[in-house]
Amino acid sequence: MEKNSFIRKTSGRGRPYESVLDTIGNTPSIRLNSLPPAHVELYVKAEFFNPAGSVKDRLAVSIIEEAERSGALRQGQTIVEATSGNTGIGLAMVCAAKGYPFVATMPTTVSIERRRLMRFYGARVVLTPKKDKALGSYKKAVELSESNGWFLASQFETSANALIHQRTTAREIVADFEGKRLDYWVTGYGTGGTLTGVARLLRKERPETKIILSEPDKAELLGSGETQLRSAAGQPQESHPAFQPHMIQGWTPDFIPLVLQEAIDNGFFDDLVPVCEEESMMCSELLAKREGILTGVSGGATLAVALKLAEEASERSVILCMLPDTGERYLSAPLFDKINTHMNSEERSLSLSTPNFQLLDDE
Ligand code: PMP
């Protein structure tokens, strides 16, 4: 091994922070050094650096602070939202920091870690049946808000969603790649906030950057070309016909959100690539094992698409892909199914290879 003369040092962030909320955003774009082919540069934007571990911290603080500014939210009013998890965890964190009560509605299919995390932050979690899918928990949140006078966060429709990505996520990308090539930016969609907000700015300031969108091959809502039935307020009326349940949590709900519709109407993506969930989980694990970077299934899915793109990309292409959340959010989910908790035979032989501290049976 080559001797390393580099001495790692840090110098602080230059100031103490007034609130956890001020630590949201400014996530790093990190180069991958082992997985991509040698002829490209592939970077990941690691949203798990946000204080509650996902990209949705940005949305959560935006919804609440925009509503405070407009007067739509009263001090101490309860906030309610339908959430596949990360939005709920982000809102629970922001509500805890600002002193608002928070109620999340979510389908029973969402991982246990997510429910427990929200409750740990002091939120209440109302579960809805699996058979009613995301739309069921959405309708429950609307009912609870109407019957109690609560503030509905409306992540799928609110203008505060794409706006925060335009002002923060997109600005960070433009700043980090200033004076550098950026040939491709790869993302998936849940609400579509990341895509729509980032694309608004990239189309203006980096028009040469190709925007690559992905969705699960089991739920090709956009790929099907079928439109979404919506109310006058933009809320979905029924499940999209191309939807099938999939394991890429946080991606592609069973309807096309209004926030995403702006990206469709404005041609905000140059290509649409379906991805399968097995490959997504495999890429998430590879990213941990080969690069030391821990992300969830949607991060693995985005990386799977970026790696395929990298194979075909021309010499010295630069690709950036989004990693929406941390892999720790999936310990009880299929992503970690293959990871054993007991010693395997190799670990057992290691245990037996020296005389002391042996575990005799699988305690
Ligand atoms: N991945 C995960 C794990 C998520 O929770 C979300 C947000 N639902 C996304 C991706 C997609 O982000 P957006 O809502 O901005 O499209």
Tokens at 90, concatenated: 């982000």
Give pLDDT, residue 236: 86
| C-beta of 250 in contact with ligand 1 (< 6 A) | yes
The full set of domain ranges for the chain reads 20-51+159-336, 56-152
Distance 296 CA to ligand 1 centre (A): 11
Residue that has been written with the tokens 């990209």 in this structure: 55
Whether CATH 3.40.50.300 fits 56-152: no
Cα(254)–Cα(148) distance, integer angstroms = 26
Averaged confidence pLDDT in the chain? 95
Catalytic residue among 62, 84, 280, 298: 298
- Other C-beta atoms lying within 10 Å of the C-beta of residue 303: 31
Give pLDDT, residue 204: 98
Rg (CA), the chain: 21
| C-beta of 192 in contact with ligand 1 (< 6 A) | yes
Tokens at 279, concatenated: 């490959």
Instruction: Name the residue among 221, 230, 196, 174 with its Cα closest to residue 45.
Output: 174
Give the confidence band of 109 by pLDDT, cuts at 50, 70, 90: confident
In the predicted structure, residue 112 carries a pLDDT above the cut 90: no
Please name the residue whose Cα sits nearest to atom 6 of ligand 1: 250
Ligand 1: which atom is nearest the Cα of residue 192? 16
Assess whether 98 carries a catalytic annotation: no
Q: What is the dihedral of CA 227, 228, 233, 238, to 10 degrees?
A: 160
Cα(284)–Cα(220) distance, integer angstroms = 21
Give pLDDT, residue 363: 54
Give the confidence band of 68 by pLDDT, cuts at 50, 70, 90: very high
Give pLDDT, residue 26: 98
Distance 190 CA to ligand 1 centre (A): 4
Give the confidence band of 297 by pLDDT, cuts at 50, 70, 90: very high
| C-beta of 48 in contact with ligand 1 (< 6 A) | no
State whether residue 213 is helix, strand or coil. Answer: strand
Cα(137)–Cα(140) distance, integer angstroms = 5
Cα(59)–Cα(22) distance, integer angstroms = 13
Q: In this predicted model, what pLDDT tens digit does every residue of 113-135 receive, in sequence order? A: 889 999 999 999 999 999 988 88
- Other C-beta atoms lying within 10 Å of the C-beta of residue 332: 13
CATH architecture, range 20-51+159-336: 3-Layer(aba) Sandwich (3.40)
Q: In this predicted model, what pLDDT tens digit does every residue of 8-60 receive, in sequence order? A: 999 999 999 999 999 999 999 999 999 999 999 999 999 999 999 999 999 99
Cα(102)–Cα(88) distance, integer angstroms = 9
Distance 247 CA to ligand 1 centre (A): 13
Task: Report H helices in 276-326.
Answer: 277-286, 297-312
Ligand 1: which atom is nearest the Cα of residue 59? 15
Please name the residue whose Cα sits nearest to atom 11 of ligand 1: 190
Under 8 Å CB-to-CB from 292, ≥6 apart: which residues? none
Distance 18 CA to ligand 1 centre (A): 27
Please name the residue whose Cα sits nearest to atom 12 of ligand 1: 190
Assess whether 351 carries a catalytic annotation: no
| C-beta of 253 in contact with ligand 1 (< 6 A) | no
Give pLDDT, residue 361: 65
- Residue 54's φ and ψ, nearest 5 degrees, are -155, 170
- Other C-beta atoms lying within 10 Å of the C-beta of residue 171: 16
Q: Percent of the chain having pLDDT more than 90?
A: 88
| C-beta of 327 in contact with ligand 1 (< 6 A) | no
Residue that has been written with the tokens 């990206």 in this structure: 263
Ligand 1: which atom is nearest the Cα of residue 298? 1
Give pLDDT, residue 85: 86
Lowest-confidence pick of 26-30, 72-76, 84-88, 125-129: 84-88
Catalytic residue among 45, 54, 56, 280: 56
In the predicted structure, residue 263 carries a pLDDT above the cut 70: yes
Q: Strands of 12-140 (E only): list them.
A: 29-31, 41-46, 79-82, 102-107, 124-128
Topology match between the domains 20-51+159-336 and 56-152:
yes
Please name the residue whose Cα sits nearest to atom 2 of ligand 1: 250
Ligand 1: which atom is nearest the Cα of residue 155? 14
Tokens at 260, concatenated: 């995403």
Alpha-carbon distances of 311 from 37, 43, 76, rounded to whole Å: 7, 15, 52
Q: 95: burial class by Cβ within 10 Å (0-12, 13-18, 19+)?
A: buried
